[in-house]
A and B are shown apart, each in its own frame.
Chain A
Amino acid sequence: MSAQNSIIKVENLKRTFVVGSEEVHALKGVSFEICQGEFVSIMGSSGSGKSTLLNILGCLDQPTSGEYLIDGISVRERTKNELSDIRNRKIGFVFQSYNLLPRTSALENVELPLVYNPDVSHRERREKAQHALELVGLKDRMEHMPNQLSGGQQQRVAIARALVNDPVIVLADEATGNLDTRTSYEIMSLFQNLHEQGKTIAFVTHESDIAVFTSRTIFLRDGHILRDESVATKSAAEALAALPKENDY
Chain B
Amino acid sequence: MDILNLIRISAKALMRNKTRTALSMLGIVIGIAAVIAVVNLGEGLKQSTANQLSDMGTNLIMVMRANQRRGGVSMGSSNVQSLKVHDCELIAKNAKNVTLVSPVVNSGGQLVNGSKNWSGTVYGGSPDYLEIRKYEIATGVNFTDDDVKKYAKVGLIGQTIVENLFDDGEDPIGKIIRVGNMPFKVIGTLKEKGQNSMGMDQDDLVVMPYSTVQKRMLGQDFIQQIVCSAASENVAEAAVEEIESILRASHKIPEGGDDDFEVRTQQEMLEMMSSMTGMITTVLVAIALISLLVGCIGIMNIMYVTVTERTKEIGLRMSIGAKNSAILMQFLTESIILSLIGGVIGLLLGLLLSYVVSLFMSLPYVVNVMWMVIAFVSCAVLGLISGFFPALKASRTDPINALRYE
A, B from the same assembly: yes
| C-alpha gap A55/B325 in the complex (Å) | 21
Of B12, B17, B317, most A-chain CB atoms within 10 Å: B317
Q: Would A112 and B317 count as touching, CB distance under 8 A?
A: yes
Of B312, B321, B403, most A-chain CB atoms within 10 Å: B321
Say yes or no: is A101 at the interface (Cβ < 8 Å to chain B).
yes
Contacts of B326 in A (CB 8 A): 116
| C-alpha gap A104/B317 in the complex (Å) | 14
| C-alpha gap A116/B5 in the complex (Å) | 9
| C-alpha gap A55/B400 in the complex (Å) | 7
Q: Would B313 and A116 count as touching, CB distance under 8 A?
A: no
**B318-360 with Cβ < 8 A to chain A:** 318-326
Say yes or no: is B116 at the interface (Cβ < 8 Å to chain A).
no
| C-alpha gap A95/B1 in the complex (Å) | 25
- Encode contact with B along A78-113: 1 for CB under 8 Å, 0 otherwise: 001100110111000101000101111000100011
User: Within the complex, which residue of B315, B322, B403 is in contact with A116, where a contact is CB–CB below 8 Å?
Assistant: B322
| C-alpha gap A103/B21 in the complex (Å) | 14
Interface size on B, residues (CB 8 A): 24
User: Within the complex, which residue of A88, A95, A103 is in contact with B321, where a contact is CB–CB below 8 Å?
Assistant: A88
Q: Would A87 and B317 count as touching, CB distance under 8 A?
A: no
| C-alpha gap A113/B321 in the complex (Å) | 7
**B370-388 with Cβ < 8 A to chain A:** none
Say yes or no: is A115 at the interface (Cβ < 8 Å to chain B).
yes
Shortest CB distance A171–B (Å):
10
Q: Would A116 and B319 count as touching, CB distance under 8 A?
A: no
Q: Would B323 and A89 count as touching, CB distance under 8 A?
A: no
Say yes or no: is B2 at the interface (Cβ < 8 Å to chain A).
yes
Say yes or no: A84-B403 contact (C-beta < 8 A), given A99-B312, A104-B16, A115-B5: no
Of B1, B16, B399, most A-chain CB atoms within 10 Å: B399
Contacts of A101 in B (CB 8 A): 16, 313, 316
| C-alpha gap A85/B323 in the complex (Å) | 8
Shortest CB distance B8–A (Å):
8
Say yes or no: A85-B321 contact (C-beta < 8 A), given A99-B316, A102-B16: yes
- Encode contact with A along B20-51: 1 for CB under 8 Å, 0 otherwise: 00000000000000000000000000000000
Say yes or no: is A20 at the interface (Cβ < 8 Å to chain B).
no
Q: Would A116 and B400 count as touching, CB distance under 8 A?
A: no
Say yes or no: is B85 at the interface (Cβ < 8 Å to chain A).
no
Contacts of A99 in B (CB 8 A): 312, 315-316, 403
Say yes or no: A88-B313 contact (C-beta < 8 A), given A60-B399, A116-B1: no
| C-alpha gap A117/B1 in the complex (Å) | 7
Of B12, B315, B319, B320, most A-chain CB atoms within 10 Å: B320
Say yes or no: is B9 at the interface (Cβ < 8 Å to chain A).
yes
Q: Would B323 and A80 count as touching, CB distance under 8 A?
A: yes
Contacts of B313 in A (CB 8 A): 101
Report which A residues bind B (CB closer than 8 A).
Answer: 55, 58, 60-61, 80-81, 84-85, 87-89, 93, 95, 99, 101-104, 108, 112-113, 115-118, 161, 165
For the complex with contacts A88-B322, A99-B316, 17 further pairs of A-B residues with Cβ separation under 8 Å are A55-B400, A58-B319, A60-B399, A80-B324, A81-B325, A84-B318, A84-B322, A99-B312, A99-B315, A102-B16, A112-B320, A113-B321, A116-B326, A117-B321, A118-B1, A165-B320, A165-B321
